[in-house]
Amino acid sequence: MDNPGKFYITTPIYYVNARPHIGHTYTTVVCDAVARRQRMMGLDTWFLTGTDEHGQKIERSAAAAGCSPREFVDKIAGEFRALWDRMKITYDDFIRTTEPRHMRGVQALFMRLQERGYIYKGSYSGQYCVFDELYVDAVGPGAPCPECGRPTETVHEENYFFKLSAMEDRLLKYYAEHPDFIRPETRRNEVVAFVRSGLRDLSVSRTSFKWGIPVPNDPQHVIYVWLDALANYMTAIGFGSENPKDQEKLHRYWPADVHMIGKEIVRFHCVYWPAFLLAADLPLPKSIIAHGWLLFEESKMSKSRGNIVRSETVLDTLGGDALRYFLLREIVFGQDGSFSFDALVARFNSDLANGLGNLASRTLSMIARYFDGEVPYPSPSERTPADEAIAKLGEQTIADFHAQFGQFQFSRALETAWALVAAVNKYIVENEPWAVAERDDQDSRARLATILYTSAEALRIVTALTHPVIPDATARIWTQLGLGEIGQVDLRSLAWGQLQLGTKLGPIEAVFPRADKSTIERMQQMEQQRAADAKQEALPPSAQPAGTDAQPGQPVTQAAASPSPSAPAPVADSKITIDDFLKVELRVGEIKVAEKVKGADKLLRMEVDIGTEVRQIVAGIAKAYEPEKLVGRKVVIVANLQPRKLRGLESNGMIVAASLGDDGQPVLAGFLEDVPVGAKLK
């Protein structure tokens, strides 16, 4: 029996023959945003991701890399997991198909199909595509695969077969009775047409390689990778385990609510997987949602085409929220969409820095300035049509955003939220709170309170709604609004007017500093460097620098460690690559305000103009510099440091100084020539 209060969502499990790129990140971020929102809608949510580690393709990749399949899969699976952790993907479980819990579950499923008479032994002669892990209708040695165009291999194998041909009618009936099973509609139509055209039995075992799960009682054969891989959605939540806790979990979450996939694996998920489940008498997932491809340089981003972009490049420059927002806003879900650094930076600046970031910083800083950091009391009787319009739009935004996001129309939902952001930014400009604040009468004060309350309330609503998409920035805006932990918000009861009067704001800081043109260059350089590193790593072991094959525990001698003439020079441990250096953003800033920090005799609090914004920086230079003499001085600052707190004050960057003598006396770095504020150092 399905439990209506739960929500179980899965990503595909990614092959470990390649490192993660933005294409993998896309599906994972979509699922993460959906899972986060479902949790905020009060659902008992389970979010699964993982890695697909068996098969000939992986076996060959490991051999090419000169290591055992086990070492190879451990390394790449670790990279996937580390990336998701770095991106704060809120997966509840990470399944690897080489784990015992999975292997046991796959064997249980195989036996269940066998017991029910759906698996028989036969033999196969024909063409096989290793890339797609698929027997294909192609004739003759080396004939191109009809799916991907790569040359196929001729195989003659004794195999176990699954009676897929017997499932045609049941599948068609199921699709007809469950119109939402495959989404979007275009994919559903393709699948129905494919099944209608007739299904042939499917070979579900291989003897040509060993890196897989043995067929129960016939270990010469390993189980077909797609039967192995698809089963992860159930083995991860306990299928095949006798443990009552696992069984309870299986009961609690299966059937899955959403299998999220890219469109190239529709057939496996929408034909084979339901056929296996129908034959095994197990409940089918509720929906399979296929999205389009992320294109880069006009073709599908994929390792085999060599046109990938690594997520780390964006994380190191603009941050995780920028990438998440871009993917969900720019790409119309379901369709193919292009990734480019230019489009990413343009979106970042227009929507995040100028849109939401600007709304947050101007609203919060005016409340801080004019109302001592407390959410003001709007005048209940004197709402102008402009105030009413924003309140109404706020209510409408909540309703529309819920409906659109609930339908997986992420781009439209974000457009809806940003229409409110734009309307409020316009409302602020038209109502000129800064001018109202100049007038010292009671009516003006009440008007100012209404304008700022209205703006803050709209900001709160957009922040809550978009938290699943841009979790970091929204959590920070939420704290600045003085509202605590954003993850605790119940989105079901979100409504206009809930912002409590008198709420004390938290410390204010910019959430999205504008990116400039050099950001694009930095990202391009990082990608080039990464591609070069990857190339060097992919060299076969004989081409690796000498000395790297010393036995563990044995010292590498000087002679052995020096590179052979043809080998690239190894990077010494103490040196960093240009890539590392490019991560540090150094800028010229001008100190606008400097003052001592109470109770800390070494610290100065400064406000430093860095061209795009004024930053608060706290630095331990009070013993060496009089604050008043620093005002107007140009300094070098590290602009992209994580903010940190010193004596309760947030410091947003670091001032570069030489450190002299044993006590580290600071001497500020500077320039002999005049340099403009905001100039970059490189």
Interface residues toward ligand ME8, by CB under 6 A: 12-15, 23-24, 26-27, 52, 229-230, 232, 261-262, 264-265, 293-294, 300-302
Shortest Å distance, C-beta 331 to ligand ME8? 9
Closer CB to ligand ME8, 302 or 525, in the complex: 302
Shortest Å distance, C-beta 280 to ligand ME8? 16
SS3 at position 353: helix
Q: Which of 55, 50, 53, 95 is nearest to 70 (CA)?
A: 53
Closer CB to ligand ME8, 273 or 625, in the complex: 273
CA 321 to chain centre: 8
Separation of alpha carbons 60 and 18, rounded Å: 12
Helices (H), 331-441: 341-347, 358-371, 385-406, 410-431, 433-438
Closer CB to ligand ME8, 148 or 389, in the complex: 148
Shortest Å distance, C-beta 195 to ligand ME8? 19
Shortest Å distance, C-beta 306 to ligand ME8? 13
Shortest Å distance, C-beta 232 to ligand ME8? 6
- Asked whether the beta carbons of 556 and 547 are under 8 A apart, the reply is yes
Closer CB to ligand ME8, 235 or 317, in the complex: 235
Contacts 24+ apart (CB under 8 A), 533-539: 533/577, 533/579, 534/19, 536/568, 538/64, 538/65
Shortest Å distance, C-beta 260 to ligand ME8? 7
Task: Give the 3-state DSSP-derived string for 280-291, with helices as H, strands as E and coil as C.
Answer: HCCCCCCCEEEE
Residue 443 burial (CB < 10 Å; 0-12/13-18/19+)?
exposed
Separation of alpha carbons 473 and 93, rounded Å: 25
Separation of alpha carbons 11 and 261, rounded Å: 6
Task: Supply 190's token pair.
Answer: 């393709």
Closer CB to ligand ME8, 303 or 592, in the complex: 303
Q: What is the DSSP letter of 137?
A: -
* Residue whose entry in the numeric block shows the structure tokens 């996937």: 80
Shortest Å distance, C-beta 272 to ligand ME8? 10
Shortest Å distance, C-beta 226 to ligand ME8? 7
Shortest Å distance, C-beta 663 to ligand ME8? 55
Closer CB to ligand ME8, 15 or 401, in the complex: 15
CA 234 to chain centre: 24
Closer CB to ligand ME8, 265 or 604, in the complex: 265
Task: Supply 646's token pair.
Answer: 């010193």
Shortest Å distance, C-beta 8 to ligand ME8? 15
Q: Which of 447, 273, 250 is nearest to 366 (CA)?
A: 447
Separation of alpha carbons 655 and 590, rounded Å: 11
Closer CB to ligand ME8, 134 or 473, in the complex: 134
Shortest Å distance, C-beta 339 to ligand ME8? 9
Contacts for 40 with CB less than 8 Å, ≥ 6 apart: 467, 468, 487, 489, 490, 491
Separation of alpha carbons 14 and 281, rounded Å: 27
Closer CB to ligand ME8, 307 or 396, in the complex: 307
Contacts for 516 with CB less than 8 Å, ≥ 6 apart: 612
Closer CB to ligand ME8, 469 or 636, in the complex: 469
Which residue is closest to ligand ME8 by CB? 23
Q: Which of 487, 483, 495, 499 is nearest to 38 (CA)?
A: 487
Separation of alpha carbons 656 and 669, rounded Å: 6
Identify any residues that bridge with 589 across adjacent strands, giving them in sequence order: 635
Shortest Å distance, C-beta 268 to ligand ME8? 7
Shortest Å distance, C-beta 140 to ligand ME8? 27
SS3 at position 124: strand
Closer CB to ligand ME8, 256 or 486, in the complex: 256
Closer CB to ligand ME8, 212 or 394, in the complex: 212
Closer CB to ligand ME8, 293 or 348, in the complex: 293
Element (H, E) at 31: helix 22-40
Separation of alpha carbons 591 and 609, rounded Å: 6
Quote the longest CA-to-CA distance of the chain: 92
Residue 35 burial (CB < 10 Å; 0-12/13-18/19+)?
buried
- Asked whether the beta carbons of 159 and 238 are under 8 A apart, the reply is no
Shortest Å distance, C-beta 131 to ligand ME8? 10
Q: Is the peptide bond before 255 cis (omega within 30 degrees of 0)?
A: yes
Shortest Å distance, C-beta 235 to ligand ME8? 11
Closer CB to ligand ME8, 52 or 400, in the complex: 52
Q: How much is the CA Rg of the chain, to the nearest whole Å?
A: 29
CA 418 to chain centre: 21
Taking the alpha carbons at both ends of the chain, their separation in whole angstroms is 62
Closer CB to ligand ME8, 70 or 196, in the complex: 70
